[in-house]
């Protein structure tokens, strides 16, 4: 059966659906030896040879879901022209080709998800979905009540006003304050930009929670595989974003249950 190339690449674990579209338009995909750069192009993996950068795309193998405690000083990409360390360099012993779900800045540390399941990654990163992400932020000086209120009500950035954030003080001193800041959006460098917009200087930034997942049991630079029920639970807890069109609730729940069942079947147990 023919499918769009971006869906084939996503299902194969090459990249998320959005990233797959960029790979296609860059002319990196060939079907039966012919470069195809149109997003509407289709292929049948049962009959056609689909390659990315000359390598055959395969749909077999286990689907894996990983939580990594990213240190600062690592790039959340698969390549870096400057030769800086990549988060995948930390995944010693992982045989599957995985890629990050979303990004953490070079100087940001904390919880990062990686997978080779393109559909799952696309669902988790889609802007319509709202999964809480908690950060601990160390800023210089004492944070004022008006600054806290502005963060809680939403901050005007150059790409639009942010959704309200949950903010509290973890601890403070005369020189620094540690904040807990929880958001569900995933804009570029969002937490840093929010803090800077209200006059705060970020000294250290760490993501400590993604949905229900935390960093318990992980040392910096360490990782573990998610169990099938953890991967499917993350998928189920994502929900349509506010302001988006509502579909039939029963239909949406049925789709979530179907996807969760698929993940249960495909995902491997935590490796110890």
Catalytically active residues, by annotation: 105
What's the chain's length in residues? 272
Q: What share of the chain is helix, strand, coil (3-state, %, to 5)?
A: 25, 30, 45
Q: How many helices and strands, by DSSP H and E, does the chain display?
A: 7, 17
Picking from 174, 238, 166, 176, the residue whose alpha carbon sits closest to that of residue 205 is 176
Residue 74 tokens read as: 């690592």
> Euclidean distance between the first and final Cα of the chain, in Å?
38
Tokens 């990249």, residue located: 15
Question: Are the C-beta atoms of 164 and 153 separated by less than 8 Å?
Answer: yes
């Amino acid at each position: 059966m023919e499918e769009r190339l971006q869906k084939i690449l996503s299902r194969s674990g090459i990249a998320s659906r959005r990233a797959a579209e960029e790979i296609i338009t860059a002319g990196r995909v060939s079907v039966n030896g012919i470069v195809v750069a149109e997003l509407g192009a289709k292929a049948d993996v049962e009959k056609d040879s689909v390659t990315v950068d000359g390598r055959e795309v395969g749909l077999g193998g286990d689907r894996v879901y990983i939580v990594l405690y990213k240190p600062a000083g690592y790039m959340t990409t698969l390549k870096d022209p400057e030769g800086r360390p990549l988060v995948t360099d930390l995944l010693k012993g992982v045989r599957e080709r995985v890629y990050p779900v979303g990004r953490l800045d070079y100087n940001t540390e904390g919880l990062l998800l990686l997978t080779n399941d393109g559909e799952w990654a696309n669902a988790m990163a889609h802007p319509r979905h709202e999964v809480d992400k908690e950060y601990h932020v160390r800023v210089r000086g004492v944070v004022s009540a008006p600054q806290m209120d502005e963060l809680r009500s939403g901050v005007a950035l150059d790409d639009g006003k942010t959704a309200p954030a949950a903010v509290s003080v973890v601890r403070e001193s005369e020189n620094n304050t540690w904040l807990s800041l929880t958001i569900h959006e995933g804009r570029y460098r969002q937490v840093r930009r929010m803090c800077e917009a209200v006059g705060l200087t970020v000294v250290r930034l760490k993501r400590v929670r993604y949905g229900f997942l935390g960093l318990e049991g992980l040392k910096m630079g360490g990782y573990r595989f998610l169990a099938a029920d953890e991967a499917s639970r993350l998928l189920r807890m994502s929900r349509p974003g506010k302001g988006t069109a509502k579909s039939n609730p029963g239909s949406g729940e049925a789709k979530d249950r179907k996807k969760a069942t698929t993940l249960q079947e495909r995902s491997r147990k935590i490796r110890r």
